[in-house]
Chains A and B, each alone.
Chain A
Amino acid sequence: MIDFENWSCPVPLRDTPQVVMGHGGGGAMSAELVEHLFLPAYGSAVSPADSAVVPVLGGRIALSTDSYVVKPMFFPGGSIGDLAVNGTINDLAMSGASPLYLSIAFILQEGTPLATVGRIAVAVGSAASAAGVQVVTGDTKVVDNGSGDGVYLTTTGVGVVADGVTIGPERATAGDVVIISGDIGVHGVAVLSVRAGMEFETTVISDSAPLHGLVAAMLATGADVHTLRDPTRGGVAASLNEIARTAKVGIALDEPSLPIPATVADACSLLGLDPLQVANEGKVLVMVPADGAEAVLAAMRAHPYGGGARVIGRCVEEHPGMVTARTALGGTRIVNMPIGEQLPRIC
Chain B
Amino acid sequence: MKYLDEFGNPVLAKRLVEEIHAATTRPWAMMEVCGGQTHSIIRHGIDQLLPEGVEMIHGPGCPVCVTPLEIIDKALAIAAQPGVIFCSFGDMLRVPGSGQDLFGVKSAGGDVRVVYSPLDALKIARENPERQVVFFGIGFETTAPANAMTVYQARRLGVTNFSLLVSHVLVPPAIAAIMESPVCRVQAFLAAGHVCSVMGTREYPPLAARYGVPIVVTGFEPLDILEGIRRTVVQLEAGRHEVENAYPRAVRDEGNPAAMAMLRDVFEVTDRTWRGIGMIPGSGWRLSSRYREFDAEQRFAVADIRTNESPLCRSGEVLQGLIKPHECAAFGKQCTPRNPLGATMVSSEGACAAYYAYRRLDLVQLS
| Residues A329 and B222 in contact, CB atoms below 8 Å apart | yes
Chain B residues with CB below 8 A from A262, complex form: 1-2, 5
Measured between C-beta atoms, what is the minimum distance from B78 to chain A in Å?
Answer: 19
Task: Find residues 194-210 in chain A having any chain B CB closer than 8 Å to their own CB.
Answer: 197-198
CB proximity of B226 to chain A, nearest CB, Å: 9
Interface-facing stretch out of A37-45, A131-139, A266-274? A266-274
Contact A331 B91 (CB under 8 A): no
Q: Are A331 and B120 in contact (CB under 8 A)?
A: no
Q: Of the 9-residue stretches A106-114, A163-171, A337-345, which lies at the interface with chain B?
A: A337-345
The answer to whether B44 and A347 touch across the interface, beta carbons within 8 angstroms, is no
Closest CB-CB distance, A231 to chain B, in whole Å?
19
CB distance from A57 to the nearest CB of B (A): 42
Q: Which segment of B283-291, B292-300, B353-361 sits at the interface? A: B353-361
Q: A329-B46, A331-B49 are in contact. Are A346 and B91 (CB under 8 A)?
A: yes
Do B143 and A265 touch (CB < 8 A)?
no
Closest A residue, CB atoms, query B93: A343
CB 8 Å contact bits of A254-284 with B (1 = contact, 0 = none): 0000000010011001011000000000000
Q: Is the CB of A334 within 8 A of B361?
A: yes
Contact indicator A334/B358 (Cβ below 8 Å):
yes
Docked Cα-Cα span, A272 to B353, in Å, equals 15
A128 to chain B, nearest CB (A): 35
Taking CB atoms, residues of chain B closer than 8 Å to A333 are 42-45, 357-359
Question: Does A55 lie at the interface of the complex (its beta carbon under 8 Å from any beta carbon of B)?
Answer: no
CA distance A31 to B13 in the complex (A): 67
Is B115 part of the binding interface, using a Cβ–Cβ cutoff of 8 Å? yes
Contact A329 B13 (CB under 8 A): yes
| B1 in contact with A265 (CB, 8 Å) | yes
Contacts of B116 in A (CB 8 A): 197-198, 271, 344
Give the residue name and chain of the B residue nearest to A250 (CB).
B361
Asked whether, in the complex, the Cβ of B1 is within 8 Å of the Cβ of A266, the reply is: yes
A322 to B8 alpha-carbon distance, docked (Å): 25
> In the complex, what residues of B have CB within 8 A of residue A265's CB?
1
A271, A339, A342, A346: the one within 8 Å of B64 (CB): A346
Q: How far is the CB of A241 from chain B (nearest CB, A)?
A: 12
Q: How many Å lie between the Cα of A328 and that of B91 in the bound state?
A: 27
Contact of A330 with B49 at beta-carbon distance under 8 Å, contacts A345-B89, A345-B347 already known: yes
A336 at the interface (CB under 8 A from B): yes
CB distance from A2 to the nearest CB of B (A): 34
Residues of B79-120 contacting chain A, CB below 8 A? 89-94, 113-116, 120
Q: How many chain-B residues does the 8 Å CB contact rule pick out?
A: 48
Contacts A346-B64, A346-B139: A336 and B347 contacting too (C-beta < 8 A)?
no
Whether the pair B222, A336 counts as a contact (CB closer than 8 A) is no
B1–A347 CB distance below 8 A: no
- Closest B residue to A344 by beta carbon equals B90
B119 to chain A, nearest CB (A): 11
User: Which of B8, B13, B138, B338 makes the CB contact (< 8 A) with A346?
Assistant: B138
With contact pairs A197-B120, A334-B358 given, residues A347 and B63 touching in the complex (Cβ less than 8 Å)? yes
Using known A-B contacts A324-B361, A327-B44, A333-B45, determine if residue A347 contacts B338 with beta carbons closer than 8 Å: no
Contact of A334 among B13, B44, B357 (CB under 8 A): B357
Contacts of A339 in B (CB 8 A): 337-338
* A336 and B357 contact, Cβ closer than 8 Å, known pairs A345-B349, A346-B139: yes
Q: Could you tell me if B347 and A332 are in contact, using CB atoms closer than 8 angstroms?
A: no
Which residues of B sit under 8 angstroms from A345, Cβ to Cβ? 89-91, 347-349
0/1 per residue, B188-219, Cβ < 8 Å to A? 00000010000000000000000000000000
Nearest opposing residue in chain A for B94, CB measure: A343
Q: Which residues of A contact B222 (CB under 8 A)?
A: 329
Contact B361 A330 (CB under 8 A): no
Cβ contacts B54-90/A at 8 Å (1 or 0 each): 0000000001100000000000000000000000011
* Chain B residues in 8 Å Cβ range of A271: 116
What are the residues of chain B within 8 A of A336 when measuring CB–CB? 357
What chain B residues lie within 8 Å of A331 (beta carbons)?
A: 44-46, 48-49
Q: Which A residue's beta carbon lies closest to that of B39?
A: A345
A60 within 8 A of B: no
Query: B220 → chain A, closest Cβ, in Å?
Result: 10
**Which residues from 303 to 322 on chain A have a C-beta closer than 8 Å to any C-beta of chain B?**
319, 322
Do A272 and B45 have beta carbons less than 8 Å apart? Answer: no
Nearest residue (CB) in A for B41 is A331
Complex partner residue of B361 from A198, A322, A343, CB under 8 angstroms: A322
Contact assessment for B359 and A347 in the assembled complex, using a CB-CB cutoff below 8 Å = no
Contacts of B8 in A (CB 8 A): 328-329
Chain B residues near A344 (CB-CB < 8 A): 89-91, 114, 116
Evaluate contact between B10 and A272: CB separation under 8 angstroms: no
Cβ of A206 to closest chain B Cβ, rounded Å: 21
Q: Which of B1-43 contact A (CB under 8 A)?
A: 1-2, 4-5, 8, 10, 13-14, 36, 42-43
Indicate if B273 sits at the interface (CB-CB under 8 A).
no
Residues of chain B within 8 A (CB-CB) of A272 are 90-91, 348
Q: Is the CB of B142 closer than 8 A to any CB of chain A?
A: yes
Shortest beta-carbon distance from A262 to chain B in Å: 6
Within 8 A of B (CB), among A65-111: none
Are B120's CB and A347's CB within 8 A?
no
Please indicate the chain A residues that have their CB under 8 angstroms from the CB of B46 in the complex: 329, 331
Q: What sequence of 0s and 1s flags, for each residue 159-185 of chain A, a beta carbon within 8 Å of any chain B beta carbon?
A: 000000000000000000000000000
Q: Determine whether the beta carbon of B138 is less than 8 Å from that of A327.
A: no
Chain A residue contacts of B13, Cβ below 8 A: 329
**B89 pairs with A330, CB closer than 8 A:** no
B113 CB contacts on chain A under 8 angstroms: 197
Beyond A329-B13, A333-B359, 8 additional contacts (C-beta under 8 Å) are A197-B116, A272-B90, A331-B48, A342-B90, A344-B91, A345-B348, A346-B64, A346-B89
Q: Which 8 A-B pairs have the closest CB atoms?
A: A331-B45, A344-B90, A343-B90, A333-B358, A346-B89, A266-B1, A343-B91, A328-B10
24 A-B contacts (beta carbon < 8 Å): A262-B2, A272-B90, A324-B361, A328-B44, A329-B13, A329-B14, A329-B45, A330-B45, A332-B48, A332-B361, A333-B43, A333-B359, A336-B357, A343-B91, A343-B93, A343-B114, A343-B348, A344-B91, A345-B89, A345-B349, A346-B90, A346-B138, A347-B139, A347-B140
Chain B interfacial positions (CB closer than 8 Å to A): 1-2, 4-5, 8, 10, 13-14, 36, 42-46, 48-49, 63-64, 89-94, 113-116, 120, 138-140, 142-143, 194, 222, 337-338, 347-349, 357-362, 364
